[in-house]
Structures are given as C-alpha cells and as structure tokens.
Amino acid sequence: MKNKKIIVCDAIHSKGFELLNKEKDIDVIDAVKVPKDELLKLLADVDVAITRSSTDVDEKFLNSAKNLKAIVRAGVGVDNVDQEGCSRRGIIAMNVPTANTIAAVELTMAHLLGTARSFPNANNHLKLDRVWKREKWYGVELCGKKLGVIGFGNIGSRVALRAKSFEMDVIAYDPYISASKATDLGIGYTENFEDILTCDFITIHTPKNKETEDIISYDEIAKMKDGVRLVNCARGGLYNEKALYEGIKSGKIAYAGIDVFSYEPATDHFLLDLENICVTPHLGANTLESQEKIALQAAEAAVSAARGISYPHALNLPIKAEDLPPFVEPYLELVQKMAFMAAQINKAHIKSVKIEAEGEVGEYVKSLLTFALVGSLKESIGNKINYVNAEFVANEKGIETKYEAKPSTSGYKNKITIKLTTDKSVTNISGTVFGENEQRIVGINGFKFDFKPKGKMIVFKNSDVPGVIADISTILAKSGVNIADFRLGRDEHGLAMAVILVDEDISKKLISELNSLETCIWAEYAVL
C-alpha cells in the first residue's frame, strides 16, 4: 500500500518530527524553511498538512493541494485557515486547542504582576539607562485588589485560581457557564458586566467573535475606576485598541499588559509609543513544554487523519451525507443555523437542547441533534466546538440533550424545531425546507414567520401598539442602518415580534437603545 504523505509547513518542536518519522506508512515532507511561494509546488500529492500561523491556508494553498484530506493547525487559533474553503473541498480542518493552556495562564500572571509593579520599565531604566531611581517605580499590591475575569473557560478559570492564591478578590463574568462553576472554586460570579468594570484589574479570556470584539471600548473604559489595570493575552481586538490607547495616555488606565494585537506582527503599532504598557509578541504558547505538547498532539492528529482513523478536534466534520437520504442534508445545515440563532438571542448558560422533527425527517432526528449542539455552543465556545466533540462538551457542561420524532400536524411535510433552554429563558425556533434546499425559518417562540436563515437581523419583541415600527425605523435611520426586510408576527395576546434584516453591523449600543423603547420587551441581534 502506498505511503501517506504529511507535509509540515511551519516550525514545530522536534518531538513532533520524531513521532512522524517513526511511522513506517508515513512519508514526511519537511517544508519549514521552504519559501511560501515555493511551498505551493510541494502540495500536489500530500494527504495532510501541518501548519501554524505563518502559513495561510487560503484559496491558493487549497487549490494547490489537490489530494489534501485534512489540515492540522498546530495551535488554538485558526484565523489563517479558510474553513469554508476546506469544507467545500471535503478537507477536514483541525486544531490543537488545549496544549498551550498552562503557558497562556502563566503569561497572563506575568502580565498581571507586570501591570502592578511596572517591571519592564524599571528593568529598562536600570539596565539600559543605568539610572537607580527607586522612588520612580512605586507599584501596587495584588493582595486585596479585585480582579475581574472575562471568560471562565480553561484559561480564565486557572488564572482566577492563581490570582486567588495572591489573595485577590476575584469575580468572573461568563454568561455561558453555570454560576456554580465559579462559586464552587471560591470565585465570585456576576451576570452583570458592569460589575467587572468596577474592578482594580481586568483580564480577558474569550474567543474572538462578534459578541466579544471590542467588548472593552470607550464607554466601558469611561465607567472603570481611575487607575485600572488591564491585561489581554487572549485575542487581539477584544479591547478596542484606539480606546485602550486613549485610556492609557490619559491616565485613566494606569497600566496595561498586552500580548496580542488586531494585526500582527505589530512592530509599528501605536500602542508601542506609550510608556505605561508592557507588550509581548504573542507569546501565549511560547514555552518549551507547550511547544512540545502542541507538536506531539498535531503530529498524532495528522497521522490519525492520514490513516482515516479519526479527526481529533475537527472543526468542520459533518455526519456522512452518504448515510442519509438527500432530502435530509439541508435540514442538517438548517438546524445548526437555527440553533446558532437561538443561542444569539438567548445568551445565557444553556441548560438543555431539544430537537423536535415532524414528518419523514423525524426518522433522522438523532443526526440533527449533533448539528444543533454545534450551533448552540458555537456562540459561547467558538471554534473549539465541532461535530466530533459536541456531545462530549454538552455532557461536560451538564447540558441535557433530547430529541423527539412527531407526526406532522403543522401543515408542513417536514418541520424541525429547536428548543433552547437557558438560565434566562426558553427559545423555540422552527424551520422547514421547500424544494431541494430552500431553507426557511417559519416560527420563533410561537410567532409565525417566513424568512431565509441568512444575514444580519434584529429580533424585536414588543407590545402590539401603534407607532412601534416608526420608533424602530427612526432609531435605525439615525444610526445609518438600512433595513433590507421587515418581517412581523403577531399573537392573540397583544404582543408582536419583528425580524428586521439589515445591511450594516449592529452595535451593542444600538441594541441597548432599542431595548430602552417603552414598547420593547426585548431586542437582540443575530448574524447567520
């Protein structure tokens, strides 16, 4: 049997190469030092590629890799991997999400200490300027200070525990976890983001998505106490960098520790001009131990994928379509979109996910559940959730999963409904497919609709009284937002719900303004 080919495009720890080279059925191509324009010539007959951040898995890469079955991103971030392009070509995209956890935690602690004591500045003043001036470098103690942790996953929770050992008062904000996950560890928990803004120190540990990008910006910084200290070792752009610059320059922010930037390499970034900031060049995974773990896990994943055995941490692995009738395929996509929408308009700790299927599609309701879980959890977990680990992650988080096949009583030949229950409320979204793949959402929380699950949309529930549409239109027009479509549903109890498709991105401030309308019960923003 012909050997499988694995190409290593970027530098990984030697242990990874050792693992690959000892496999007798694997041929390894070491392309670490090959210029990127020449790399494309080596891709024609490889089965699996291992990359890091230096190689863009873009259209040129994928077009050159005619035989590629899988791509392994040796690390957490997959910003440089065209996942949609991989999916279209049947290429499975994987990452290595947990190998650098401790490294990222400890770097955060280093930045936390640095923001308290200005170590980089004191070091440079003595070592480079040869000035001994102790009185210039008065810092603050961590002991007794309040630390706000945004995001309480693998990294955030470990940072919180280490900060607690410094006798800090730690409070966590993460709407996608149960409060007990924090309180059981002796960590405070809040559902109110404003509580985080009152802290002495703030650190963030979330994925980067539309919900978390610019989560700290001008308005949030204005509400912070004078002399606050901020740390970001997660993803560039979680803090609005221009707002961060102004806050540091004005003295509102006493000090910041930043490891990540919106655009990297950030060698000429305006934040580098400031004195009271410590910057590092994205070193979150840069320890010998984490590099070895990343290399070994990436190599193991590549070998398994090359042999077709398994695809660890696959980001885009669907259920085998050939095992299902053709009419079921669009329902798999539809239920994931519906679940993702439900999670966006019902942002809270998920307690249960239930799928109901009416008609012939009910025979395949269990297959739909996996896709529903991926959609439900993507809002809170981001790229770490996939078709392989969805049920495991749901079980780990204590999320109850249910599915039920029902006879068709709604007038539709086939209809699926997702019921997402959180600590906050219950959201029901129903959908169907017309023709071969005309996907439609036909109901939200008992209100009847008919719209495509695609685009940017505001979901607005209100009292059914005159003037509501005019009020909404005025607010959107004032913000320069164009309405592409306006769908309205009404019930018999004096309530209405609108789904407003828009052309522009909607800010949290604008959603807050809509929520402040007297007739509004709630308004949320979703993107499909």
For residue 24, pLDDT over 80 is answered with yes
For residue 436, pLDDT over 90 is answered with no
Q: Residue 321: what pLDDT?
A: 54
Amino acid at 419: K
For residue 318, pLDDT over 70 is answered with no
Catalytic-labelled residue, pool 205, 282, 440, 487:
282
Global pTM reads 0.80
Active site annotation includes 264: yes
Strands 4-8 and 26-30: parallel
Q: Residue 176: what pLDDT?
A: 87
Q: How confident is the model at residue 378 (pLDDT cuts 50, 70, 90)?
A: confident
- Token pair in block for residue 210: 């539309």
pLDDT digits (tens, 9 = 90+) for 245-286: 999 999 999 999 999 999 989 999 999 999 999 999 999 989
Catalytic-labelled residue, pool 18, 264, 400, 438:
264
Burial of 206 (0-12, 13-18, 19+ CB in 10 A): buried
Q: Residue 10: what pLDDT?
A: 95
- Token pair in block for residue 278: 């410590």
Q: What secondary structure does DSSP assign to 99-147, as a single string?
A: TTHHHHHHHHHHHHHHHHH-HHHHHHHHHTT----GGGG----STT-EE
Buried b (16+ CB within 10 A) or exposed e, 134-145: eeeeebbebeeb
Q: Residue 322: what pLDDT?
A: 53
Q: Are 436 and 317 in contact (CB under 8 A)?
A: no
**What is the C-alpha separation between 315 and 31, in angstroms, rounded?**
24
Active site annotation includes 89: no
Q: Are 274 and 53 in contact (CB under 8 A)?
A: no
Catalytic-labelled residue, pool 13, 73, 235, 313:
235
Strand order of the β-sheet with 520-527 is 483-490, 495-502, 456-463, 520-527
- Token pair in block for residue 328: 């079921």
Q: Are 231 and 253 in contact (CB under 8 A)?
A: no
Strand order of the β-sheet with 350-358 is 400-406, 350-358, 415-422, 426-434, 438-444, 447-451
Percent of the chain with pLDDT over 90: 80
Q: Residue 319: what pLDDT?
A: 67
What number is the average pLDDT over the span 6-35? 96
β-partners of residue 92 are 70
How is residue 2 annotated by DSSP? P
For residue 211, pLDDT over 70 is answered with yes
Q: Could you tell me which residue, 382 or 186, shows the higher pLDDT?
A: 186
Q: Rounded to 5 degrees, what are φ and ψ at 226?
A: -65, 135
DSSP three-state, residue 322: helix
**Rounded to 5, what percent of the chain is helix, strand, coil?**
35, 25, 40
Q: Which domains does the chain have, with CATH numbers?
A: 4-98+288-307 (3.40.50.720), 101-279 (3.40.50.720), 318-452 (3.30.1330.90), 455-528 (3.30.70.260)
Task: Kindly give, in sequence order, each residue whose CB lies less than 8 Å from that of residue 192, ignoring residues fewer than 6 positions away.
Answer: 173
- Token pair in block for residue 410: 């709604």
For residue 308, pLDDT over 90 is answered with no
Side-chain-side CA neighbours of residue 369 (13 Å): 21
- Token pair in block for residue 58: 């873009």
Q: Rounded to 5 degrees, what are φ and ψ at 71?
A: -125, 135
88-92, 250-254, 343-347 — which is least confidently predicted?
88-92
Closest to 143 in 3D by CA, of 118, 119, 117, 174: 117
**What is the C-alpha separation between 109 and 93, in angstroms, rounded?**
32
Q: Residue 301: what pLDDT?
A: 93
- Token pair in block for residue 315: 């980001």
Q: Are 314 and 386 in contact (CB under 8 A)?
A: yes
Q: How confident is the model at residue 393 (pLDDT cuts 50, 70, 90)?
A: confident
Closest to 159 in 3D by CA, of 119, 197, 102: 102
Cis peptide bond prior to 330, omega within 30° of 0: no
127-141, 170-184, 240-254, 299-313 — which is least confidently predicted?
299-313
Dihedral sign from CA coordinates of 8, 302, 58, 100: negative
For residue 439, pLDDT over 60 is answered with yes
Closest to 320 in 3D by CA, of 364, 383, 382: 364
